[in-house]
Structure formats: structure tokens, C-alpha cells
Amino acid sequence: MNKIIKKEQLSEKVYRFEVEAPLIAKARKAGHFVIVRVGEKGERMPLTIADADIKKGTITLVVQKVGLSSTRLCNLNEGDYITDIVGPLGQATDIQNFGTVVCAGGGVGMAPMFPIVQALKNAGNRVITVIAARTKDLVILEEDFREYSDEVIIMTDDGSYGKKGLVTVGVEEVLTTEKVDRCFAIGPAIMMKFISELTKKYNIPTVVSLNTIMVDGTGMCGACRVTVGGKTKFVCVDGPEFDAHQVDFNEMLKRMGAFKGAEVKMMETPATEKQTEVLKKIVPPKIITSEPAKEGIDKSRNAEWRVELRKQMKAKERSSIERCEMSSLDPIYRATSLKEEVNLGLSKEQAMKEAQRCLDCANPGCVEGCPVGIDIPRFIKHIEKGEIIEAAKTLKETSALPAVCGRVCPQEKQCEVRCIHVKMKNKPVAIGHLERFAADYERESGEISIPAIKNRNGIKVAVVGSGPAGLSFAGDMIKEGYEVTVFEALHDLGGVLRYGIPEFRLPNEIVDVEINLLAKMGVKFVKDCIIGKTVSVKDLEKEGYKGIFIGSGAGLPNFMNIPRENSIN
């Protein structure tokens, strides 16, 4: 949560906010942006950092009330809190002593231009700033720009202030009277397009900031992809600044118009409907922790109870049992319920019957095929005996995410393919189904146990990313006695488990329960923090972290580089 220190109205629909964000203020550079979210159900909104005060620990954001998300933000007041601010993001502006530089912007685009003008002036450039607006009342930040500019030219469409004309008129006036070495342009896409065409005629290198097209800010959604020099680029990752003369503005303009209808619909949605959506949120089940499993218990295949269990049925009898397949939602029904889990799981009777198929091999290939080395025969034999809670405890000895893995882990390519039944030309034991059953049974019973944890050794370990790799590593390290902190760039934990896998396959509440258990084990979580941006690796080392695990994931989609790949329709 970030507190609003100051709010100022700059024009009819434009507001300036000074917000507490000390880490971002310290790390930001010209050209960087942040992702802002207002409310737990709010959309992610990219905003360029207009200014920062390291001493006060604040950043400045300038926001125009346009759509639903920006309206919600502009309705906040001093003393209110913004739910999430993450950053700094994007590539910083290339600042050099170019010579004479023209910085042109229109409307709210002047806000992201301000830190660039500051940096260019501090680098020794002669800076000429062209501010454009429809009318005098819409001119913003004039005095701020005059402080860092050698000359300020103001253009208004109606001539009510400064000179009458479009921004291109002001820019061309400079190009014809000065030796200009570089041009920067920020504003509406159509404005940047015409400035680009103008400077190309005069052979002036030009940089444009395409932040106006960004949506998610991570590159995962792909909505901000643009063609630059014939190649696909992501504005939020590769930019937001690009060589203006290489940008396909016509394609960009089409993409920007693709979601206008959806935004208008959201703005028109009655408040009562929006409130109802919040009320439908699933309440996570209550977790009751129990004591860790006692040490000294025989966990080997030769344990008396397992020997007795094997004697109860001959291997031939076990092999003759048909594999139990999991039931699922009716296809016609699930087509109308995209968040309801399709697979329904096994009943206790089904699970115990399936567990009987396991031969409890002396050299179990399934364990060798498991990436985390779960003692698969032991947890399955606990199920056969009806000791489901013990089966769940066995899973958690080596797996931090049994309920997740029971749903999405490719057991058919790992543990199940190594099952002895496969060698006998039979279907393998349904290890994945049984893993899910044991984890779900424990969660639904309310008796969620914490696995054995060694005494704390005082060694701090940082984990970058809260996806399956980061969470699994955190679980292993906390059990070994390390002090573990997981740093997540987004506002919710889980990585691909939450943002990449649909809920009809992996419900978010399942992910939440697994993460909550890690927190109860002692794992600390820090959200909205980008390692390498908000906090550097050196910062972590200064804070005493002795080890850093990087599980940052693969957020960017891959493209085939075929014609019309970026077409809207």
C-alpha cells in the first residue's frame, strides 16, 4: 500500500499525485514507468514516473481521467492509499550530451517528458521544449519545464495561449531555425506519428515513447507489441522508447482501438454489479496446523505395516485391478462455467482401490522419475491403509506444492511412465490422481500439518519469483533451517500457477493454500518488488543475503515471425 502525500489538479481531467514509494524513488531513471493498481479487483495500469524525491521517498505520477482504472485513481485523495505500485519498469532513456535537443509533447504526454528534459539539461544539452494542447486550460507543467529548458514554445489548437497551431508547427519552426541534433516526442500516437514524419524529412534522429499502448506492463499479455524495424517488440519490456522512424504507427493505431468498446462497457457497468463481483470471491479454507511428524518412525519399505499390507494381496491380484479414472464436469455445463474446476478428484473409496494397484516395488522407478524425489510407494501405501493424512505428510516431506502438482504436474511423462505396470503393458498407477486426493483430503479435513523443520541457522536466502520453481525452492530451504524471503514482481503470488494456468484446471484458492502453508513455515513474501530494478542484487547482499535463487520465469510469448502476425483482425 502506497500513501498519497499530495494531490493537485492540473487541468479539467489531469491530476498530479505525490506518492510514498522510497525504493522506487531511489532506483528510478528518466523513461521508467510503474504499474499501479487501485483496489483488489483493479486492473494493472502503467504510468510513467514524472518525478521523484529520494530524500522524501516519493514519486510523482500525472494521471488523466480517461478509463475506469484512471478514474478510480483520480477519485482518491490525500491520505488515501494506492493498493499496489510496482517498478521502476522499462528501459531508461538514453541520455547523452547530444547538443541541441527538441522535446515535444502533447497533453498529458508532457508528464513523462519532464524527467527526460531534466536529465538532458543536466547532461549539458541545449533543450527546447514544445508544449502542445487544445486550449490554454489544458497546458500543464509549464513552469516546471521552464526551469530546465533553454526555450519553451507553447502551441494551442485554438490560439488561446502561446502560438496557434499543432505541435508539428512548433517543432518545424525550431528545425528550420536551429541546428537540432535530436528530437524526443511523447503524446497521443497520432501526434507522434506526424512528428516522426516531420523529423524524418529533416533527417533528425527521433525517439518516441509508446507508453500509451501498454496494458499489463510485464509482456505476458502481448497487447503492447509493436513492429519496430520489421521486428516485433514489446513496449513494456523493450521500451517504452524506440527509434520513431522505425515504428509502424499505422499498426499501432489499429491495436490501440481494439479495446475501446470493452473499456466503455466497464465504465457503464453499474456500481452494484461491480460490488456483486467482489462478493462472489471464494473465501480460502481455514488452515489448522498440527504438530510435525515424529522422528524415529520407520519409513522404509521394510516397515512392519508395509510388509503386512503387501501380504494382504498377491501381485497378480493387484495387477488385475482396473485403473481408476477421475470423473469430470459435464462438457455442456463446463462450457458455461470457465472458472469451475473440470476434474472432480477421487473419492476415498476410489483412491484406496487405486492404491491397491501399487506393487510397492523394491526398486521403484516412479521415485526416480519424480523431479523432487517423493517417496511415492510410501504415500500410496498410506492411502491404501486409509491413512490419508499420513499420505499427505509424506508428500510434504519433499514437495512444497502437492495439491498443485497433483493437478498440473505431467506425471504421465515423469513418474507414471516409470511405473512397473507400464513394463507389463498395463496402465500405470494413477500417481497424479492420488497425489491430488491426499493433498485435497488434508486441506478439507482442516488438519493441515507443517513438515519437520530444522533449527534456524541464521543464513538468509533470497528467492526471485514466486512461481513453482521459487516456491519449491523456498519450501526446501525453510525446511533446512534457512531464513527465506521470496521477492515477487507482481501484486499476487504464484507466478504461472496464478497467471498462466486457467482456474478450471488449477483454482487460485488451491495456490493460496499452498502459499499460506509456506508462510506458516516461516517463508517471508515481498510483493511488488522487482529484483534488478526496485532492489539490486548488491542491495540484497548488503542486507545479508548469502544466497540468491532466480526463478523469474518466462513471461514473454514467442512469435513465429510470419506476415500479418500482429494484425488486429
DSSP 8-state symbol, 240: S
The answer, yes or no, to whether residue 279 has pLDDT greater than 80, is no
The answer, yes or no, to whether residue 280 has pLDDT greater than 50, is no
Tens digits of residue pLDDT in 419-460: 999 999 999 999 999 999 999 999 998 878 899 999 999 999
Q: Whose grid coordinates read 519498469?
A: 89
What is the rounded distance in angstroms from the CA atom of residue 130 to the CA atom of residue 118?
Answer: 14
Band (244; pLDDT cuts 50, 70, 90): very high
pLDDT of residue 293: 46
**How many CA atoms lie less than 13 Å away from 514 in the CB half-sphere?**
33
The answer, yes or no, to whether residue 205 has pLDDT greater than 70, is yes
Tens digits of residue pLDDT in 369-389: 999 999 999 999 999 999 999
pLDDT of residue 442: 94
Band (211; pLDDT cuts 50, 70, 90): confident
Q: What is the mean pLDDT of residues 172-183?
A: 93
Band (296; pLDDT cuts 50, 70, 90): low
The answer, yes or no, to whether residue 470 has pLDDT greater than 60, is yes
- First and final CA of the chain: distance in angstroms? 39
List every span in the chain annotated with CATH 3.50.50.60.
460-550
What is the rounded distance in angstroms from the CA atom of residue 362 to the CA atom of residue 302?
Answer: 9
What is the rounded distance in angstroms from the CA atom of residue 192 to the CA atom of residue 324?
Answer: 62
User: Between these two residues, 292 and 312, which has the higher pLDDT value?
Assistant: 312
% of the chain beyond a pLDDT of 90? 68
The answer, yes or no, to whether residue 471 has pLDDT greater than 90, is yes
Task: List alpha helices for 486-558, DSSP H.
Answer: 496-499, 508-521, 537-542
What is the rounded distance in angstroms from the CA atom of residue 41 to the CA atom of residue 568?
Answer: 27
Band (281; pLDDT cuts 50, 70, 90): very low
The distance from CA 204 to its chain's CA centroid, rounded to whole angstroms, is 38
Q: What is the mean pLDDT of the chain?
A: 88
Tens digits of residue pLDDT in 122-170: 999 999 999 999 999 899 899 999 999 999 999 999 999 999 999 999 9
Band (307; pLDDT cuts 50, 70, 90): very high
pLDDT of residue 347: 96
What is the rounded distance in angstroms from the CA atom of residue 35 to the CA atom of residue 399?
Answer: 33
pLDDT of residue 368: 95
What homologous superfamily is domain 460-550 in, according to CATH?
FAD/NAD(P)-binding domain (3.50.50.60)
Judge contact between 139 and 156, C-beta under 8 A. yes
Judge contact between 406 and 435, C-beta under 8 A. yes
pLDDT of residue 556: 66
Instruction: Give which of 467, 462, 453 is closest to 397, Cα–Cα.
Output: 453
**What is the widest separation between alpha-carbon atoms in the chain?**
97
% of the chain beyond a pLDDT of 70? 90
User: Between these two residues, 464 and 1, which has the higher pLDDT value?
Assistant: 464
Judge contact between 476 and 400, C-beta under 8 A. yes
Q: CA angle, corner 73, sides to 70 and 78, nearest 5?
A: 150
What CATH number is given for 1-281 in this structure?
3.40.50.80
What is the rounded distance in angstroms from the CA atom of residue 369 to the CA atom of residue 391?
Answer: 19
Judge contact between 152 and 129, C-beta under 8 A. yes
Q: Whose grid coordinates read 493441515?
A: 448
Q: Which residues contact 208 (CB under 8 A, 6 or more apart)?
A: 184, 185, 186, 192, 195, 196, 241, 242, 244, 247
Instruction: Give which of 449, 438, 429, 443 is closest to 348, Cα–Cα.
Output: 438
Torsion of CA 498, 565, 228, 169, to 10 degrees: -100
Residues forming beta bridges with residue 328, ordered by sequence position: 343
The answer, yes or no, to whether residue 277 has pLDDT greater than 50, is no
pLDDT of residue 322: 95
Q: What is the mean pLDDT of residues 304-320?
A: 93
Judge contact between 186 and 222, C-beta under 8 A. no
The distance from CA 459 to its chain's CA centroid, rounded to whole angstroms, is 28
CB atoms within 10 A of CB 423: 10
What is the rounded distance in angstroms from the CA atom of residue 293 to the CA atom of residue 520?
Answer: 16
Tens digits of residue pLDDT in 107-118: 888 989 999 999
Q: What is the CA radius of gyration of the chain?
A: 29
In what helix (H) or strand (E) does residue 560 lie, and over which residues does it extend? none
CATH class, range 288-449: mainly alpha
Q: What is the mean pLDDT of residues 276-291?
A: 43
List every span in the chain annotated with CATH 3.40.50.80.
1-281
Q: What is the mean pLDDT of residues 189-205?
A: 93
pLDDT of residue 544: 96
Q: What is the mean pLDDT of residues 395-407?
A: 95
List every span in the chain annotated with CATH 1.10.1060.10.
288-449
Tens digits of residue pLDDT in 250-274: 888 887 765 555 555 554 554 444 4
The answer, yes or no, to whether residue 202 has pLDDT greater than 90, is yes
Residues forming beta bridges with residue 487, ordered by sequence position: 464, 526
Tens digits of residue pLDDT in 18-56: 999 999 999 999 999 999 999 888 888 888 899 999 999
What is the rounded distance in angstroms from the CA atom of residue 10 to the CA atom of residue 8?
Answer: 6
The amino acid at residue 44 is: R
Provide the 3-class DSSP secondary structure of residue 56: coil
